[in-house]
Amino acid sequence: MMARTVLNHADISRALTRIAHEILESNRGATDLVILGIPTRGTVLARRIAELIQRIEPSAPVQLAGSLDVTMYRDDLSRSRIRMPSPTELPPGGIDGKTVVLVDDVLYSGRTIRSAFDALSDLGRARAVRLAVLVDRGHRDFPIRADFVGKNLPSAASERINVRLTEVDGGDDHVTIEGGAE
């Protein structure tokens, strides 16, 4: 099957820069802000967004980003391939009273984000929870909407969105779509 590139490295960089600015604007700065990525690629994107926020707003906390493993909170554990849990890492001070921005690479059914809400509630009580995604492809099973989106990419359920990031996959950053009706 032929894969079609829909975002290249420059597109991803621009999208993350825009998302960082939108997060700062929405939160009125970096005060009490925590960026948590959902492993694996969401964690990389969260770190990049946190670095951008620190460049834009030098008063931002040095440790702004962390990761939130949702493996054991998923509702499809018995039906999907075995997943190895990743460590959950919170910035100093935890999430109590903070605005938490969850970051993931692709928003599809909403099941991963629903799992993230459950995992987050075990860690404390956030003041607010927002969602940032690189790609929103539609097809929700749950009423979940991203607050910050890099690219809306309507797609058929039979298509696959592939996000490749240098830190995880090597090579250049890019997003491809493949499959669907031929």
Domain around 130: 10-76+83-155
Q: What is the pLDDT of residues 30-74, one digit of tens each?
A: 999 999 999 999 999 999 999 999 999 998 887 889 999 999 998
**Beta bridge partners of residue 84, listed in sequence order:** none
Q: Round to whole Å and give the CA distance between 132 and 52.
A: 14
pLDDT at 85: 81
Report pLDDT for 18: 98
Lowest mean pLDDT among 130-134, 153-157, 162-166, 177-181: 177-181
Specify the higher pLDDT residue, 82 or 88: 88
Confidence of residue 83 (pLDDT cuts 50, 70, 90): low
| Inside any domain, residue 17 | yes
**Helix or strand run (H / E) with residue 16:** helix 9-27
Q: Is residue 162 in some structural domain? A: no
Q: Does 21 reside within a domain?
A: yes
Q: What are the tens digits of pLDDT across the range 104-123?
A: 999 999 999 999 999 999 99
In a domain, 3, yes or no: no
Asked if residue 132 belongs to a domain, the reply is yes
Q: Is 4 inside any structural domain?
A: no
Residue 2 lies in a domain: no
Q: How many CB atoms lie within 10 A of CB 65?
A: 26
How many independent structural domains does the chain possess?
1
pTM of the model: 0.93
Per-residue pLDDT of 10-30, as tens digits, reads 999 999 999 999 999 999 999
What is the 3-class SS of 76-125, one letter each residue? CCCCCCCCCCCCCECCCCCCCCCEEEEEEEEECCCHHHHHHHHHHHCCCC
Q: Are the CB atoms for 33 and 101 separated by under 8 Å? A: yes
Confidence of residue 1 (pLDDT cuts 50, 70, 90): low
Predicted local distance difference test score (pLDDT) of residue 180: 72
Average pLDDT over residues 153-170: 95
172 domain-assigned: no
Q: How confident is the model at residue 86 (pLDDT cuts 50, 70, 90)?
A: confident
> What average pLDDT does the structure give for the chain?
93
- pLDDT of 81 higher than 90: no
Residue 143 has pLDDT above 90, yes or no: yes
Count CA atoms closer than 13 A to 153's CA, side-chain side: 26
Kindly report the CATH number assigned to the domain that includes residue 49: 3.40.50.2020
Dihedral sign from CA coordinates of 49, 127, 114, 109: negative
pLDDT band at 80 (very low <50, low <70, confident <90, very high): low
